[in-house]
Structure 1
Amino acid sequence: MTARLIEIFLPESEVERLESILARHSRRFWRETVPGRAEKYTCIVQQRYTERLLGDLQAAYGDNPDFTARISRLEAVIPPVLETADTELPAPDELRPPTAIERFFSRDRISTTELYEDIEESLHITPTFLLTVFLSSVIAALGMRSGQTAVVIGAMVIAPLLGPTMGIAIAATIGDPRRGAKAATALCVGSTVAILAGALVGALVDIDLTVSELRNRSLVQPADIALALACGAAGVLAMSKAASLSLVGVMIAVALVPPLAATGIFLGIGEWVLAANALFLFTINFVCLNVAGIVMFLVEGLPPKSWRVTTGLLSAWTAILIVLALVAAGRLVFGLGTLERIGSLMVSG
């Protein structure tokens, strides 16, 4: 069921204006009087119209202290709310009609407000956030050290890096510098903590540098770039369809947590070249996640405030990715980033 139940509370003086707004976005709504001389409107909104309805409500009543809107998912309704070409409501004059691709991908996408709510908690640098990052990195480091892939996957499940990573992509797509800075700060702090946790493991535990789980995090191959792009795209698609955030978090963490933990391990044992290689892998993965994330958010119809700013940021991320990919290719061509070269460094270490 791809619809939302939206409850709106407003003073009686705003009733006529609100009904004109609801008529453009909802086919079913009800009015009732509630205590406090307020009016309550309950409406069923097809999911593809939730975004534009919330935008109109914010523009009209965002500064009204007596305005409240509550959104909840609707499991079922009779008669059903169908999403077909015949039931499509006309777009407001100021909005361009959605393209066929946007209509296809955004028909069951949750609204921007709901996306923000999903990631907002993990953008705050709290003791729980720091401790969870620390523990997930320790688990990942110990899993790589012993070559236990299942343990590394377990670390990805609890790593709280979904919010900061997706927050940066959403902020770049919409053009929200405040939230982008907040997400970037959380990711920088979390990444630092993850590296320090890995360094602690490297300093306290015997490390076998020939273990493949570690070796694979010290070089960049074309498959790694493809993996990070796929993780970013799949993560956005799953998140925007209200999939389990734990599963989406694994998609994002698979590209971030192991390289960060490996960077710390190599620093802890004094292998500076290998640490730089692992950090280089993290950087490429992070850039790939942002490129794929912005592209998928745009494909799904997430509305930028300024197309010029959004396309500029996407172009900048893409240019950085191309430069990093060329550097990685050059390292492979000259034998600096091959398995044999990395293996010789580990053996000598």
Structure 2
Amino acid sequence: MSLKVLEIIAPRSETDAIEAVTAAPEIVDWWRTPPLEDERFSTHIMVTPEHVQTTLDGLQKILDRCAGARIIIHSIETTLPQIEAKTPAEDQKPSHDASLSREELFEAVDRSGRITQTYLLLTALSAIVAAIGMIENSVAAVIGAMVIAPLLGPNLALALGTTLGDIDLSRRAILANLAGLGLAIGLAFIISFLVEPHTSAQLLERTEISYGALILALASGAAAVLSLSTGAAAGLVGVMVAVALMPPAVALGLFLGWGDTTHAAQTALLLLINVTAINLSAKLVLVLRGVSPRRWPEKSRAKQSSRWSFAFWGISFFITIALIYLAKH
């Protein structure tokens, strides 16, 4: 069982408040170090991952009234003797699987959802490799491009930003998504002038509009959130998301450069379908897992943000279904 230690550094006046949090039944163990040089105490609280958020919410009430307090989250590989998992009581609501806290989720997606030099460089390299792979009909090259494509972070950041009502996070995520996809399309457009127009199996595959593509994108978005929140193999799921986004974007740029408007329209539709489905399912999973702000004013803003987000992606989803139907008939 993976455990976490929440370390809170606070003045002596907060001793009773911290001990009240440690009295909760979900606390595995806790200890306090001698006072620091500035007379603050460091208290370590060991807790199971599924109870990290509840414990953090209790400790953050101390941060609200104490400017000198700080909370640090430590991950533990193992502890001896091993902690046996407790059997939940019959009237106790089942908790989610071991997952990251709201704060850990924010920290993870905030780093990967920004426009940075590394993000742009990896996107550019991925787009170039994907373009060459599709032109040469090389499946291995296309897969390699997906491995380095950093498109997972901005989409998760957008889903989390709208779930928490964080306007700044949502804005950065939207800009990062636009920059990444725009860069991929632009580079593919330039590459199209260096090669003769032609179609390969890899390129034609990105012009096929089907409900299967929609289902794949829905699964990608849901798997991305689950992998991030549970600490699973996010890298592999990132490849799954990149498969749904990078090849259509690159194919769109190539077809536009070659003047093939019919295939360009088809790849643009596939890209729209994938973007919509990934964001809708990612947003839905976050809400179902109970991710929300702690304070009431933030909760109110998050609810409003979620309504607008669900409305936008929901309408877009039904539009894409209609477009798929029209494309197939």
Q: Is this contact kept in 1: 2:186–2:253, CA < 8 A?
A: yes
Q: Does 1:110 align with 2:110?
A: no
- Aligned-residue Cα RMSD (Å) equals 2.1
Letter in 2 for 1:140: A
The answer to whether the Cα contact below 8 Å between 1:228 and 1:285 also exists between their aligned partners in 2 is yes
Where 1:243 maps in the other structure, the secondary structure is: coil
Give the equivalent residue in structure 1 for 2:125.
Answer: 135
Runs of at least 4 residues off by over 3 Å: 62-65
CA distance in 1, matches of 2:245, 2:87: 40
- The alpha-carbon distance between structure 1 residues 273 and 62, as it changes in their structure 2 partners (threshold 3 A), is farther
Instruction: Indicate the residue corresponding to 1:253 in structure 2.
Output: 242
Gaps of 5+ in 1: 91-96, 334-349
Cα gap change, 1:32/1:227 in structure 2, threshold over 3 Å: closer, same or farther?
same
Query: What CA deviation, in whole Å up to 9, does each residue of 1:38-73 have, x standing for no partner?
Result: 100111111111112223333430464422211122
TM-score by length of 1: 0.85
* 1:298 Cα deviation from its structure 2 partner: 2.3
* Alignment match, 1:319: 315
SS in 2 for 1:115: helix
Q: Is 1:152 aligned to 2:142, yes or no?
A: yes
> What is the number of residues matched between the two proteins?
319
1:19 equivalent to 2:8? Answer no
Change (3 A) 1:205 1:57: farther
The counterpart of 1:286, out of the listed 259, 275, 282, is: 275
Report the CA distance between 1:134 and its aligned residue.
Answer: 0.8
Report the CA distance between 1:83 and its aligned residue. Answer: 4.5
- TM-score where L is the length of structure 2: 0.90
The reply on whether 1:7 has 2:31 as its aligned counterpart is: no
Give the equivalent residue in structure 1 for 2:47.
45
Contact 1:46 1:83 in 2 (8 A): no
Structure 1 residues 331 and 6: CA distance shift in structure 2, 3 A: same
**Closer/same/farther in 2, CA of residues 64 and 116 from structure 1, 3 Å limit:** same
Partner residue in 2 for 1:222: 211
Q: 1:214 to 1:5 in 2, by over 3 A?
A: same
In 2, the alpha carbon distance for the partners of 1:84 and 1:185 equals: 46
For the residues of structure 2 that align with 1:57 and 1:130, how far apart are their CA atoms?
38
| 1:71 aligned partner, one-letter code | I
Change (3 A) 1:158 1:301: same
Q: Is the 8 A contact 2:10 2:41 kept in 1?
A: yes
Query: Could you tell me which residue of structure 1 aligns to residue 31 of structure 2?
Result: 30
Counterpart of 2:181 in structure 1 is: 191
1:331 aligns to what?
327
Deviations 1:257-300 (A, max 9, x none): 11111111112222233223212211110110111112222232
The percent of aligned pairs where both chains have the same amino acid is 31
